[in-house]
Amino acid sequence: MKYTMMICVTVSGALLWGCTPAGVDIQAEQAALRAAADAYHEAGHQNDFGSLANFYAKDGIILPPNTPEAKGLQGARDFFATIAEVPGIGVRFDDVTAEVATGGDMGYTLSNAEISSAGPHGEQLTDKDRDFHLWKKQDGEWKIAVDMWNSELPLPGVAPTSRPRTTRADDATNADPQHYTVEFENDRVRIIRIKYGPGEKSVMHTHGPNAAVFLTGNSVRMNLADGTSQELVSVAGATAWSDGDEHLPENLTDEPLEVVLVELKE
């Protein structure tokens, strides 16, 4: 098992245990995040692709399905310049979910998207997607740090599938649906919402390779399949990478714990 964790530490340590730092209005930040997402979506509705790059962080990354990634502001500009040239291009967004971490400087949005374009013979092509944005505060504004979405269109030569890939019985969402729920899934990634109440623990279960975004600060004991355990502490807004393993987590605090897990598929 390998855990690589990047932790944002403040002098006061106020972010620990999921406590909101003094002066941070989470409801106001959530409203601001939703407003930023709404403005992004409106620009898409207007086919104003030239302005969409302005919503991305300086070090942001775009991860389109079946397409090379685009990095940074110039990468975003080049990406949307290419999109603008697609014949008959149009995009619609709706059903937006917006969440902000207790630190007030990181959050995510999840929305439905419908992308239309003209086919090679003039016919209309439509692709329905789920669009995931990880946002962070940069220079006082909400900016997109990671943009990724799925596609219902199959890869060339690959037969479409009508349901997500079957998971093992010891997969977290099967073994412990009380704490692990699937927010989004395609053939490349699965996004899992993790919620633990104060002092709650799971059962032994597995995860594939994954990146975690901690929406609350937390302290957990990871009981491992070999009988050993380790305690991990993180703050709201921290991120972590795991190669995938089998474990039984336990929330050691008297505060709720919430994590978004982006699990990669082989």
CATH of the domain at 110: 3.10.450.50
Within a domain: 155? no
Tens-digit pLDDT profile for residues 110-166: 999 999 988 777 778 888 899 999 999 999 999 999 999 988 776 555 444 444 444
Within a domain: 96? yes
**Burial (Cβ within 10 Å: 0-12, 13-18, ≥19) of residue 127:** middle
How much is the pTM?
0.58
- Compute the distance between CA of residue 113 and CA of residue 213 in angstroms, rounded to an integer: 23
- The mean pLDDT of the chain is 85
CA 189 to chain centre: 10
Residues 61 and 122 both lie in one domain: yes
3-state helix, strand, coil in the chain (%, to 5): 20, 45, 40
Residues 220 and 132 both lie in one domain: no
What is the extent of the structural domain holding 230? 168-264
| Of 109, 114, 191, 112, residue with least CA distance to 153 | 114
- Compute the distance between CA of residue 218 and CA of residue 236 in angstroms, rounded to an integer: 8
Within a domain: 160? no
How many helices and strands in the chain, by DSSP H and E?
4, 16
For the chain, give the percent of residues with pLDDT over 90. Answer: 65
**Would the pLDDT of 239 be above 70?**
yes
| Of 117, 76, 115, 72, residue with least CA distance to 93 | 115
Residues 37 and 145 both lie in one domain: yes
SS3 234: strand
Within a domain: 12? no
Residues 48 and 110 both lie in one domain: yes
Tens-digit pLDDT profile for residues 163-207: 444 457 889 999 999 999 999 888 888 999 999 999 999 999 999
Within a domain: 230? yes
The pLDDT assigned to 102 comes to 87
Residues 96 and 192 both lie in one domain: no
- Compute the distance between CA of residue 9 and CA of residue 29 in angstroms, rounded to an integer: 20
Residues 126 and 29 both lie in one domain: yes
| Arithmetic mean of pLDDT, 38-50 | 95
| Arithmetic mean of pLDDT, 224-250 | 92
Give the number of other Cβ atoms within 10 Å of residue 253's Cβ.
18
Residues 40 and 138 both lie in one domain: yes
47 with 84: CB under 8 angstroms? yes
Residues 137 and 38 both lie in one domain: yes
What's the number of domains the chain is made of?
2
Residues 206 and 138 both lie in one domain: no
Within a domain: 158? no
Residues 229 and 118 both lie in one domain: no
CATH number, domain of 197, equals: 2.60.120.10
Residues 34 and 131 both lie in one domain: yes
Residues 137 and 185 both lie in one domain: no
